[in-house]
Chains A and B, each alone.
Chain A
Amino acid sequence: MTTTDLDSLAALTRDYAAFQSRKSGLATALGGFMAVVLVIAALSPNFMGVHVLNRLLVEFLVWIPLLWLVAKEIIGHLVYRGLGPVRALTDVTYERRRWGWILGFSLFLLAVLLSALYAFASSLLVAHQPHAALQPPPMWILVMPFLYLLAMPWGIRGIEEARAYVVLVGQCILWLIPFFLFSFGPPTPPMKTGWGLFGDVLGVSILVLIYTVLIWGALAMVRGWKEHREYLAILRALPREP
């Protein structure tokens, strides 16, 4: 047995194990596709004259992240665990980098969401001022979710992959809240009162968010398919059954 043989044995094991930790292959491609559909459906309430964004569809969209998680598990079991479970070694650098990305993305999403919710709530309250003795919430309340988010990595440490899912699924569900509010709020929400510069920043942020999700979705589809081909290459590289 040569060192090349040993190296390739080690590489095959690492590559196969990666499909049970950080690579999801076809599930990644499906996730990208679902994200693109989600954005397009949300942006096209009237697609070719049909009122697409009705309450039923919005309720269905909310479940998409959870449906994706279920699909991911099923695909993982059916496609990528044919040779039994192989638990990968923990890559500290990769984990740290991944958490950096997740936290950065989560902070950005939270900022957009909170701006949207705050602006919406404020404008709604301004519009109903004569009838309600309510006041807009104080600004410091907006800091609370960030504190929660910053503490989360320690709170859910040791749950392996689940922690990433907790964050991402949570984000996706949170992201849909504004759609709910804008879809089922008052028929003519007073959008033009009390927005100003806040509204401009919010508009740009939402635009950036939409493009980010669309680009991420497209990249995920390509990456997922590429990963799936890598998996097929692993199977081809294995010796024939004795």
Chain B
Amino acid sequence: MSKNGPDPRAILDLDRVVHEPARLAILTVLASAEEVSFLFVQRVTGLSKGNLSSHTQKLEGAGYLETVKAFQGRIPVTSFRITEDGRAALRAYHQQLRALLPKEGKP
């Protein structure tokens, strides 16, 4: 942070995996529960199945979430669980963003 406010270059340090709105929404949902079904994440974020799969693969690749596959009777149920790294990344992202945003009342 510079003397006159936040360093404008700090915005480049934001975690781009988390910064994407759909992935930010997914991580926010996952951080609010222990384990969340694919269907619920899809409905609550309003994403299509394909979009959700693609974003969760990216998050899984970054080590921010785990996919859990189980069966309820004969029906396969896919769920997601946020990892400790995922929680830490989300927390760090919120802190960085808060530091970058202007204080209330200031333009």
A241 to B44 Cα, complex, angstroms: 9
Number of A-B residue pairs, CB cutoff 8 Å, is 76
Would you call B40 and A83 a contact (CB within 8 A)? yes
Candidates A1, A13, A88, A90; contact of B44 at CB < 8 Å: A13
Would you call B45 and A84 a contact (CB within 8 A)? no
The contact size tier of chain B is 20 to 34
Nearest CB on B from A195, distance (A): 52
Name the CB-closest residue of B to A237. Answer: B44
A10 to B44 Cα, complex, angstroms: 10
Within 6-24 of A, Cβ neighbours of B (below 8 Å) are at 6, 9-14, 16-17
Contacts of B77 in A (CB 8 A): 84-85
Name the CB-closest residue of B to A5. Answer: B25
- The number of chain A residues with a CB under 8 A from chain B is 24
Would you call A86 and B37 a contact (CB within 8 A)? yes
Segment among B7-15, B27-35, B53-61 that sits at the interface with chain A: B27-35
Nearest CB on B from A85, distance (A): 5
Nearest CB on B from A13, distance (A): 4
Residues in chain A within 8 A of chain B (CB atoms)? 1, 5-6, 9-14, 16-17, 83-90, 238-242
A11 to B72 Cα, complex, angstroms: 26
Known: A239-B46, A242-B46, A242-B47. Is A6-B28 also a contact (CB below 8 A)?
yes
**B83 CB-CB contact with A under 8 Å:** no
Would you call A10 and B29 a contact (CB within 8 A)? yes
Contacts of B100 in A (CB 8 A): none
A14 to B44 Cα, complex, angstroms: 12
Within 27-86 of B, Cβ neighbours of A (below 8 Å) are at 28-29, 31-40, 42-48, 72, 77, 79
The list of the 10 closest CB pairs from A to B, nearest first, reads A84-B37, A239-B46, A13-B32, A87-B34, A84-B39, A87-B35, A10-B32, A83-B40, A1-B21, A17-B33
